[in-house]
């Protein structure tokens, strides 16, 4: 069967003839792939800056943001049936007996660092005609979400961040009373890519006043943000300094820019008791300079917290699927607009290497 793979040694990305998946254990499921989204991580992999094949393979099948339809299930699988739509999670446990996290089925908190990530680290991904996996790593998706469920994985990143935010902010005495502690909760989203816009939707439905702040110009991203009730400001229109001044206290900063130095420096404008959520994974592109003393002073004096949660667990995927349903009802057609381009499997290698600007790009594997 066909798959798109990266050959790190050869420095090539191309279609390969990959072995057909099969049910090998009673808990296995074989899935026909429908859509695979791609993101900055895939671009890093296609540029040979990250990504590692399984030990016995010269190549890594790419793709970690997938939607598929179940073809066949093992004899002990009850929760999922042939014909169901499913989204796979990405991380798989390490083999260490001593890793309590993985032994409890929580590779998102793997202690050894020897976890696998499908399509990223030592396990083949989903950009193939079919794949097999244990049923426990597959989340069922309602049929109504067929067109947009490929956005589940990036939204699961957002859900993970928001769950951790909620955990931390239980510390505020008024949070337990269901109060916002003033004039409503305010969030500043840094960046305007798919994760930033999905985060904006998730924060708007949770009652935050959201401002999206972007270095890109206006255009479709601004239209999108405004259509869901968020404010959109470009760096050209306004300096962060003055924006922070007239927004009022910023309770949450949601970084979705790829963790650029600028974004981290923006923490200077985070309000008292605020939380800074990092979701971008910076490439290893050398050191940058920040006034650490100033930031640390602010953190200690203003009770601030920085969290960098990027590994969603199954619960975050389920929350994402629920929220997609909520967003689809609240803003009909909006999620479709987040998918800006679809390409075929044949065109995928080229699309990874030469990304178009715009929002989420998706490989259509099967109609």
Q: How far is the CB of 153 from Zn ion (least distance, A)?
A: 6
Q: Is 13 in the site for Zn ion (CB under 5 A)?
A: no
Q: Which is nearer to Zn ion, 76 or 357 (CB)?
A: 357
Q: Is 112 in the site for Zn ion (CB under 5 A)?
A: yes
43-102 residues near Zn ion, rule: CB under 5 A:
65, 94, 99, 102
- Work out the burial of residue 147: count CB atoms within 10 Å of its CB; fewer than 13 is exposed, 13-18 middle, 19 or more buried: middle
Q: Which is nearer to Zn ion, 37 or 298 (CB)?
A: 37
- Name residues whose C-beta falls within 8 Å of residue 102's C-beta, 6 or more positions apart in sequence: 93, 94, 95, 96, 110, 111, 112, 115
What is the radius of gyration, based on Cα positions, of the chain?
21
- Work out the burial of residue 152: count CB atoms within 10 Å of its CB; fewer than 13 is exposed, 13-18 middle, 19 or more buried: buried
- Which of 67, 110, 187, 243: binder of Zn ion (CB under 5 A)? 110
| Torsion 117-122-128-132 (CA) sign | negative
Q: What is the DSSP string of 216-269?
A: S-SSHHHHHHHHTT-EEEETTT--HHHHHHHH----EEEE-SSS-HHHHHGGGG
Whether residue 359 contacts residue 339, with contact meaning beta carbons closer than 8 Å, is answered with yes
Q: Which is nearer to Zn ion, 110 or 199 (CB)?
A: 110
Q: What is the DSSP letter of 32?
A: E
Q: Which is nearer to Zn ion, 36 or 328 (CB)?
A: 36
Contact map string, positions 168 to 197, toward Zn ion, x by CB under 5 A: ------------------------------
- Work out the burial of residue 342: count CB atoms within 10 Å of its CB; fewer than 13 is exposed, 13-18 middle, 19 or more buried: middle
3-class SS of residue 93? coil
Q: How far is the CB of 24 from Zn ion (least distance, A)?
A: 22
- Work out the burial of residue 308: count CB atoms within 10 Å of its CB; fewer than 13 is exposed, 13-18 middle, 19 or more buried: middle
Q: How far is the CB of 137 from Zn ion (least distance, A)?
A: 15
Q: How far is the CB of 67 from Zn ion (least distance, A)?
A: 13
Q: Is 155 in the site for Zn ion (CB under 5 A)?
A: no
Q: How far is the CB of 186 from Zn ion (least distance, A)?
A: 28
Interface stretch with Zn ion, choices 3-11, 55-63, 112-120, 319-327 (CB under 5 A): 112-120
The Cα–Cα gap between 49 and 44 comes to 5
Q: Which is nearer to Zn ion, 30 or 155 (CB)?
A: 155
Other CB atoms within 10 Å distance of the CB of residue 267: 21
3-class SS of residue 347? coil
Q: Which is nearer to Zn ion, 41 or 304 (CB)?
A: 41
Count of residues of this chain found to bind Zn ion when the rule CB under 5 A is applied? 8
Q: Which is nearer to Zn ion, 28 or 65 (CB)?
A: 65
Q: Is 116 in the site for Zn ion (CB under 5 A)?
A: no
Q: How far is the CB of 122 from Zn ion (least distance, A)?
A: 13
Q: How far is the CB of 195 from Zn ion (least distance, A)?
A: 8
Q: Which is nearer to Zn ion, 14 or 95 (CB)?
A: 95
Q: Is 39 in the site for Zn ion (CB under 5 A)?
A: yes
- Name residues whose C-beta falls within 8 Å of residue 315's C-beta, 6 or more positions apart in sequence: 163
Interface stretch with Zn ion, choices 3-11, 109-117, 303-311, 317-325 (CB under 5 A): 109-117
| Torsion 75-79-82-86 (CA) sign | negative
Residues near Zn ion (CB under 5 A) are: 39, 41, 65, 94, 99, 102, 110, 112
């Amino acid at each position: 069967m066909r798959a798109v793979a990266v050959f790190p040694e050869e420095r090539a990305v191309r279609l390969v003839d990959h072995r057909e998946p099969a049910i090998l254990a009673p808990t296995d499921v074989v899935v026909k792939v429908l859509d695979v989204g791609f993101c900055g991580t895939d671009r890093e992999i296609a540029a040979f800056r990250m990504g590692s094949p399984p030990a016995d393979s010269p190549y890594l099948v790419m793709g970690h943001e997938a939607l598929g339809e179940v073809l066949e299930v093992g004899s002990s699988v009850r929760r999922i049936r042939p014909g169901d739509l499913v989204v796979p999670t990405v991380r798989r446990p390490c083999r260490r007996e001593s890793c309590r996290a993985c032994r409890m089925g929580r590779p998102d908190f793997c202690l050894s660092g020897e976890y696998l990530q499908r399509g990223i680290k030592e396990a083949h991904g989903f950009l193939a005609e079919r794949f097999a996996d244990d049923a426990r790593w597959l989340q069922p998706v309602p049929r109504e979400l067929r067109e947009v469920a490929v956005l589940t994985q990036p939204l699961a990143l957002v859900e993970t961040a928001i769950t951790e935010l909620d955990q931390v902010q239980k510390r505020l005495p008024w949070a337990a009373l269901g109060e916002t502690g003033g004039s409503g909760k305010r969030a500043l989203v840094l960046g305007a890519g798919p994760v930033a816009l999905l985060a904006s939707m998730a924060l708007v439905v949770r009652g935050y006043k959201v401002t999206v702040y972007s270095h890109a110009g206006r255009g479709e991203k601004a239209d999108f943000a405004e259509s869901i009730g968020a404010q959109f400001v470009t760096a050209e229109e306004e300096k962060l300094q003055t924006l922070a001044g007239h927004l009022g206290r910023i309770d949450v900063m949601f970084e979705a820019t790829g963790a650029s130095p600028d974004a981290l420096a923006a923490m200077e404008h985070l309000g008292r008791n605020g939380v800074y959520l990092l979701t971008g994974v910076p490439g290893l592109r050398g050191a940058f300079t920040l006034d650490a003393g100033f930031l640390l002073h602010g953190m200690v004096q203003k009770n601030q917290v920085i969290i960098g949660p990027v590994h969603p667990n199954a619960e975050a995927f389920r929350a994402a699927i629920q929220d997609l349903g909520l967003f689809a009802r609240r803003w009909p057609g909006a999620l479709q607009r987040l998918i800006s381009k679809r390409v075929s499997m044949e065109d995928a290698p080229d699309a990874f290497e030469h990304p178009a600007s715009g929002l989420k790009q998706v490989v259509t594997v099967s109609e």
